[in-house]
Amino acid sequence: MSRSMRGLALVLTAVLAAGACGGTGGKRAADTASEKKMDQAAVGAAASWWRPKPRTTWQWQLSGRVDTSVQAQVFDVDLFETPAATVAKLKKAGRRTICYTAIGSAENWRPDYKRFPARVLGKKVADWPGERWVDIRQLNVLRPIWGARLDQCKKKGFDGVEPDWMDGYKNDTGFKLTARDQLAFNRMLATEAHKRGLAIGLKNDLDQIPQLVGTMDFAVNEQCAQYGECNELVPFIKAGKAVFHAEYELALAKFCPTSKKLGLSSIRKPLELTAKRQACPA
Tens-place pLDDT, residues 238-259 = 999 999 999 999 999 999 999 9
Mean pLDDT score, 187-197: 98
Mean pLDDT score, 47-67: 95
Q: Given a cut of 90, is residue 196 above it in pLDDT?
A: yes
Residue 135 counted as domain residue: yes
Residue 45 counted as domain residue: no
Q: Given a cut of 90, is residue 25 above it in pLDDT?
A: no
What span, in angstroms and rounded, lies between the C-alpha atoms of 160 and 167? 19
120-129: pLDDT as tens digits? 999 999 999 9
Kindly report the pTM of this predicted structure: 0.85
Residue 1 counted as domain residue: no
- Name the residue with higher pLDDT: 128 or 7: 128
Residue 160 counted as domain residue: yes
**pLDDT confidence of residue 255:** 98
What span, in angstroms and rounded, lies between the C-alpha atoms of 184 and 139? 9
CB 194 within 8 A of CB 147: no
Among 232, 219, 144, 146, which residue's Cα sits nearest to residue 189?
A: 146
Domain tally for the chain? Answer: 1
Average model confidence (pLDDT) across the chain = 88
Residue 49 counted as domain residue: no
What stretch of H or E contains 10?
Answer: helix 6-12
CA within 13 Å, CB half, 104: 29
What residues contact 97, with CB distance under 8 A and at least 6 apart? 74, 75, 76, 77, 87, 90, 91, 157, 158, 159, 160
Residue 258 counted as domain residue: yes
Mean pLDDT score, 107-124: 98
CB 128 within 8 A of CB 113: no
**pLDDT confidence of residue 63:** 97
CB 64 within 8 A of CB 86: no
User: 244: domain CATH number?
Assistant: 3.20.20.70
What span, in angstroms and rounded, lies between the C-alpha atoms of 194 and 215? 10
What stretch of H or E contains 200?
Answer: strand 199-203
Residue 82: give the domain boundaries: 6-13+54-279
The 3-state DSSP class for residue 244 equals strand
